[in-house]
């Protein structure tokens, strides 16, 4: 596999020989990827190629699925988190996730953000207020919703809902943010808005984004990994991968010959 | 709208015609589609009207015949066994008391069972078996449940015809429906909601309690209302469990072991529905017909009132928990 690993001193997240099985279906084969701190990494590939499966391993979400087996090492800040006694709830506070379709809770805008921190022990009202405001500001949503924090989040537009979901994830102050096709349900304008938001957030967070949209990977990702049939075919700096793909399967995919 | 004399057949033949004269065929097809649309709409309207007429007719008939008999003395005085002028005071309280007790017992159990089935139970033969059992139980005739209650609570456990025998029998009668409908309400909450909770480092239980249940609340309230109506109007299951006699209640008596204490769960307690059945089947009071009519009218009014009360309570609760969001949309 042609690889351009990130510099060793900036590794936020790394997988070693990661394999995923759904019963007998070998969905992910020996994935070895390194994600550098404060970079956006895009995972591209056709549907069913294992990129979402891979992403959902990184915060151990796949553990929720019955008959799903995850083998190999997932190193977060140097420690393997894919162990039986790992506290998955703690891991998920450090590695946030944003989903394909905006999924705000059936709660007010305020509670969408304050709910999880409150459950995790923050009870002070002033502290929560501050957290809600800073998270919404980070997600570039504060100006639009500051006057209606007590109204339901479901009345927001799709793009606003997705930014709320990003704010909700940021409120836990994670180190890593995983995004599973965050723009696939949004219109082009909201998509561009979220893309520029992600680019800004790069200074503070490490991000891994699954995307179907090659232009999106090109626009925002520092590195890109190409998945095919459960395998990582190629992983490189985005410019290099798009302009000089080493593997013919990569160039075939990029030029639209399949997928 | 002009229909062709021979409507074009779809599929193979239709394709041929399309290539020959596409415009004409399209018009003919639209005309046909429009005609069937009109017919379907008319049929559905007729069906809906039939249902409305039956419902309004039934409720109107009951209210028309019964409301005239409703008076303060009828609602508060005790029933008579031989002469006219008996009231239904104790029956009203008994019905409400049994309803509250039944809900207090069955809602927590039903909620627990449906949460387990929907969220925790592994997808295997065992749970499939439990679901089938629940479905069978929910269609069990209430007289069978009543006889079961009599054998178990009244005779075997020796509780006699009592409020508690009745409440537990109604729980048996009520639980299957409650579990099924609440489970459906929980299952209809999108799985993305649960994922969102878990991805924030919340446990399954926290997500359940603070995300899934509030989102499912309108459905849960509806199922409680539906089951409450069934319980309130139930007679067959109570005839041999809560009994057919209504001892006069003394509101100053708080000795829980006394027969006249309203809250005593060991006393027999005839309900409104049982009273209707008794008075119109084996009653010998001369105004039995009028008493049954008045009781039926009251029964309907109380169910309606309970329905409205629960709905506004549910709406209020839902609003507090979800900022009025359950009627909105996601994504």
Facing residue for A103 by CB, picked from B193, B322, B324: B193
Q: Using 50, 70 and 90 to split pLDDT, how confident is the model at B279?
A: confident
Number of C-beta neighbours around residue B151 at 10 A: 13
Which residues of chain B lie closer than 8 angstroms to A106, CB-CB?
193, 211, 214-215, 322-323, 325-326, 328
pLDDT digits (tens, 9 = 90+) for A164-222: 999 999 999 999 999 999 998 888 888 988 899 999 999 999 999 999 889 999 999 99
Distance CA B72, CA B6 (A): 70
| Residue A52 belongs to some domain of the structure | yes
Mutation site, A55, A62, A106, A115, interface B, largest B CB count within 10 A: A106
pLDDT of B315 strictly over 80: yes
Q: Using 50, 70 and 90 to split pLDDT, how confident is the model at B4?
A: very low
Q: Look at B325 and A153 and tell me if their CB atoms are within 8 Å.
A: yes
Closest-CA distance of chain A to residue B214, Å:
8
Which residues of chain A lie closer than 8 angstroms to B202, CB-CB?
89, 116, 119
Which residues of chain B lie closer than 8 angstroms to A23, CB-CB?
none
| Residue A169 belongs to some domain of the structure | no
Whole-prediction pTM? 0.79
Share of chain A above pLDDT 90, in %: 53
Facing residue for B323 by CB, picked from A107, A116, A158: A107
pLDDT attached to residue B23: 67
Distance CA A188, CA B165 (A): 64
Three-state DSSP string of chain B? CCCCCCCCCCHHHHHHHHHHCHHHHHHHHHHHHHHHHHHHHHHHHHHHHHHHHHHHHHHHHHHHHHHHHCCHHHHHCCCCCCCCCCCCHHHHHHHHHHHHHHHHHHHHHHHHHHHHHHHHCCCCHHHHHHHHHHHHHHCCCHHHHHHHHHHHHHHHCCCCCCHHHHHHHHHHHHHHHHHHHHHHHHHCCCHHHHHHHHHCCCCHHHHHHHHHHHHHHHHHHHHHHHHHHHHHHCCHHHHCCCCCCCCCCCCCCCCCCCCCCCCCCCCCCCCHHHHHHHHHHCCCCCCHHHHHHHHHHHHHHHHHHHHHHHHHHHHHHHHHHHCCCCCCCCC
For A184, name the nearest residue in chain B, comparing CA atoms only: B331
**DSSP codes, A52-107:** HHHHHHHTTGGGGSTTEEEEEEEEETTEE--STT--HHHHHHHEEEE-SS----SS
Task: Report the half-sphere exposure of B165 (CA within 13 A, side-chain side).
Answer: 30
How confident is the model over B40-47, as a mean pLDDT?
96
| Residue A133 belongs to some domain of the structure | no
Q: Look at B200 and A93 and tell me if their CB atoms are within 8 Å.
A: yes
Which residues of chain A lie closer than 8 angstroms to B215, CB-CB?
105-106
Any idea which of A123-132, A226-235, B263-272 has the lowest mean pLDDT?
B263-272
| Residue A20 belongs to some domain of the structure | yes
Closest-CA distance of chain B to residue A32, Å:
23
Name the β-bridge partners of A96: A177
Q: Look at A92 and B198 and tell me if their CB atoms are within 8 Å.
A: yes
| Residue A136 belongs to some domain of the structure | no
The dihedrals phi and psi of B330, each to the nearest 5 degrees, come to: -125, 135
Q: Look at B195 and A116 and tell me if their CB atoms are within 8 Å.
A: no
| Residue A134 belongs to some domain of the structure | no
pLDDT attached to residue A3: 61
Mean pLDDT score of chain B, rounded to an integer? 85
pLDDT digits (tens, 9 = 90+) for A61-95: 888 888 888 999 999 988 899 888 888 899 999 99
Closest-CA distance of chain A to residue B112, Å:
21
Q: Look at B199 and A61 and tell me if their CB atoms are within 8 Å.
A: yes
SS3 A39: coil
Cα torsion A63, A69, A75, A80: sign: positive
Distance CA B179, CA B183 (A): 6
Q: How many CB pairs under 8 A join A and B?
A: 103
Closest-CA distance of chain B to residue A114, Å:
11
Which residues of chain A lie closer than 8 angstroms to B192, CB-CB?
99, 101, 103
The CATH number of the domain where A183 resides is what?
Answer: 3.40.50.300
pLDDT attached to residue A112: 94
Q: What is the interface pTM, i.e. ipTM, of the complex?
A: 0.90
pLDDT of B109 strictly over 70: yes
Closest-CA distance of chain B to residue A218, Å:
26
Domain that holds residue A247: 8-103+175-254
| Residue A156 belongs to some domain of the structure | no
Per CB distance under 8 Å, which residues of B are interface residues toward A? 122-123, 190, 192-193, 195-203, 206, 210-211, 214-215, 321-326, 328-331
| Residue A214 belongs to some domain of the structure | yes
- Taking CB atoms within 8 Å and a gap of at least 24, the contacts of B22-29 are B28/B3, B28/B4
pLDDT attached to residue A7: 59
What is the domain count for chain A? 1
CATH architecture of B72-322: Orthogonal Bundle (1.10)
* Closest C-alpha to A139, from A178, A170, A96: A170
Mean pLDDT score of chain A, rounded to an integer? 89
């Amino acid at each position: 596999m042609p690889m351009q690993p990130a510099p060793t001193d900036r590794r936020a997240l790394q997988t070693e020989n990661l394999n995923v099985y759904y019963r007998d279906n070998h969905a992910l084969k020996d994935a070895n990827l390194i994600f550098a701190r404060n970079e956006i990494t895009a995972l591209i590939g056709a549907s069913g190629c294992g990129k979402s499966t891979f992403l959902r391993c990184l915060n151990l979400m796949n553990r929720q699925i019955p008959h799903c087996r995850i083998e190999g090492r997932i190193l977060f800040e140097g420690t393997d988190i894919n162990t039986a006694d790992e506290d998955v709830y703690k891991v998920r506070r450090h590695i946030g996730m944003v989903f394909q379709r905006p999924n705000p809770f059936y709660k007010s805008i305020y509670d969408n953000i304050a709910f999880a921190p409150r459950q995790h022990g923050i009870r002070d009202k002033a502290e929560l207020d501050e957290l809600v405001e800073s998270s919404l500001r980070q997600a570039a949503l504060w100006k639009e919703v500051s006057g209606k924090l007590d109204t339901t989040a479901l009345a927001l537009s799709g793009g606003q809902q997705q930014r709320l979901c990003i704010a909700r994830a940021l409120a836990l102050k994670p180190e890593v943010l995983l995004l599973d096709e965050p723009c696939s349900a949004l219109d082009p304008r909201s998509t561009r808005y979220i893309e520029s938001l992600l680019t800004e957030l790069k200074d503070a967070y490490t991000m891994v984004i699954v995307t179907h949209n090659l232009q999106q990977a090109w626009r925002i990702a520092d590195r890109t990994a190409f998945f095919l049939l459960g395998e990582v075919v190629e992983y490189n700096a985005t410019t290099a991968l798009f302009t000089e793909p080493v593997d013919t399967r990569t160039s075939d995919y990029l030029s639209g010959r399949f997928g | 709208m002009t229909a062709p004399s021979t409507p074009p057949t779809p599929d193979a033949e239709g394709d041929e015609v399309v290539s020959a004269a596409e415009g004409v065929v399209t018009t003919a097809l639209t005309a046909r589609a429009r005609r069937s649309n009109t017919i379907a709409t008319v049929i559905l309207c007729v069906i809906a009207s039939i249902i409305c007429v039956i419902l309004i007719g039934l409720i109107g008939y009951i209210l028309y015949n019964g409301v005239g008999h409703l008076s303060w003395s009828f609602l508060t005085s005790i029933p008579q066994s031989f002469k006219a002028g008996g009231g239904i005071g104790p029956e009203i309280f008994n019905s409400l008391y049994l309803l509250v007790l039944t809900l207090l017992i069955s809602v927590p159990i039903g909620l627990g069972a449906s949460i387990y089935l929907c969220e925790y139970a592994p997808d295997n033969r065992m749970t499939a078996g439990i679901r089938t059992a629940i479905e069978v139980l929910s269609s069990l005739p209430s007289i069978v449940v009543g006889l079961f209650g009599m054998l178990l609570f009244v005779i075997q456990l020796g509780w006699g015809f009592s409020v508690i025998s009745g409440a537990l029998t109604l729980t048996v009668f009520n639980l299957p429906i409650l579990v099924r409908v609440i489970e459906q309400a929980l299952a209809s909450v999108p799985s993305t909601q649960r994922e969102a909770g878990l991805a924030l480092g919340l446990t399954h239980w926290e997500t359940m309690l603070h995300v899934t249940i509030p989102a499912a609340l309108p459905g849960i309230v509806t199922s409680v209302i539906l089951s409450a109506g069934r319980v309130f109007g139930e007679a067959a299951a109570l005839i041999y469990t809560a009994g057919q006699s209504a001892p006069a209640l003394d509101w100053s008596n708080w000795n829980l072991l006394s027969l006249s204490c309203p809250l005593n769960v060991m006393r027999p307690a005839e309900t409104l529905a049982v009273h209707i059945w008794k008075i119109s089947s084996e009653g010998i009071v001369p105004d039995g017909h009028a008493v049954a009519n008045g009781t039926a009218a009251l029964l309907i009014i109380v169910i309606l009132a309970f329905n409205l009360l629960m709905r506004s309570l549910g709406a209020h609760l839902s609003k507090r928990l979800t900022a009025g969001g359950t009627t909105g949309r996601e994504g």
